[in-house]
Amino acid sequence: MSDKKNIFERIAEGQIWKSIFRGGGAPKSRRQRMMVVLNSVFLHLHPVRLPKHAVKLKFTWCMGGLSFFIFLILTISGILLMFYYRPTIEYAYTDIMDLTEQVPFGIMREIHRWGAHAMVIAVWLHMFRVFMTGSYKPPREFNWSVGVILLVLTLLLSFTGYLLPWDQLAIWAIAVGSNMAGATPFLGAEGPGSSLLAIGDINFITKASDARFGLIGGRFLGEATLLRFYVLHCIGLPFIIMIFMAVHFWRIRKDGGISTPV
Partner 1 sequence: MPEDKKKTSTISPKTPPPAALNKVEKENEVNRRTFFSWLSLGWVAFVAATGGFFTMMLRFFFPNVLFEPVQTFRAGYPDDYTVGEVDLRWKEKYGVWMVRNDEGIYVLSTVCTHLGCTPNWQPSAKKFKCPCHGSGFRMTGIHFEGPAPRPLERFKISLADDGQIIVDKTQKYQQEKGQWNDPESFLKV
Partner 2 sequence: MDAFKSLINYVSNPTILFTAVLVGFPFVFPPTNWFYKVHKKLGIDKLWTKKGLIIMVAITVAFFIFGLGDDNFKKIVLKPDNVPISGLIILLIFFTWLSLSQAYKNDKLIDEGKPVDEYYEAPNDKVLVWPDLVYVELISLILFSAFMLIWSIGLPAPLEEPANPSESPNPAKAPWYFLGLQEMLVYFDPWYAGVVLPTFIIIGLMAIPYIDTDPNGSGYYSYKNRMLSLSIYLFGWLVLWNVLIVIGTFLRGPNWGFFGPFEYWDSHRLEALTNVNLSEIIYIKWLNMGLPSNILLREAPGLLIMFLTFAVTPPLLARTALKSFYERLGSTRYTIFVVLMIFGVLLPVKMYLRWFFNLKYIISMPEFFFNF
Site for partner 2 in 209-238 (CB under 8 A): 220-221
Would you count residue 59 as binding partner 2 (CB under 8 A)?
yes
Would you count residue 222 as binding partner 1 (CB under 8 A)?
yes
Please state the closest distance from residue 215 (CB atom) to partner 1, in A.
9
Which of 229, 253, 242, 217 is closest to 87 using CA atoms?
229
Binding to partner 1 (CB under 8 A) within 164-193 occurs at 172, 175-176, 178-180, 182, 190
Number of C-beta neighbours around residue 219 at 10 A? 14
DSSP state of 13: H
Would you count residue 73 as binding partner 2 (CB under 8 A)?
yes
The answer for residues whose C-beta is within 8 angstroms of residue 224's C-beta and 6 or more apart is 216, 217, 218
Contact between 126 and 64 (Cβ < 8 Å)? yes
Would you count residue 172 as binding partner 2 (CB under 8 A)?
yes
Please give the size of the binding site for partner 1, defined by CB under 8 A: 18
Would you count residue 204 as binding partner 1 (CB under 8 A)?
no
Number of C-beta neighbours around residue 222 at 10 A? 13
Residue 213 interaction partner, one of partner 2, partner 1, none, beta carbon < 5-8 Å per kind:
partner 1
CA geometry: angle 11, 14, 16, nearest 5 deg:
95
Would you count residue 162 as binding partner 2 (CB under 8 A)?
yes
State the residues that interact with partner 1 by CB under 8 A. Answer: 172, 175-176, 178-180, 182, 190, 208-209, 213-214, 217-220, 222-223
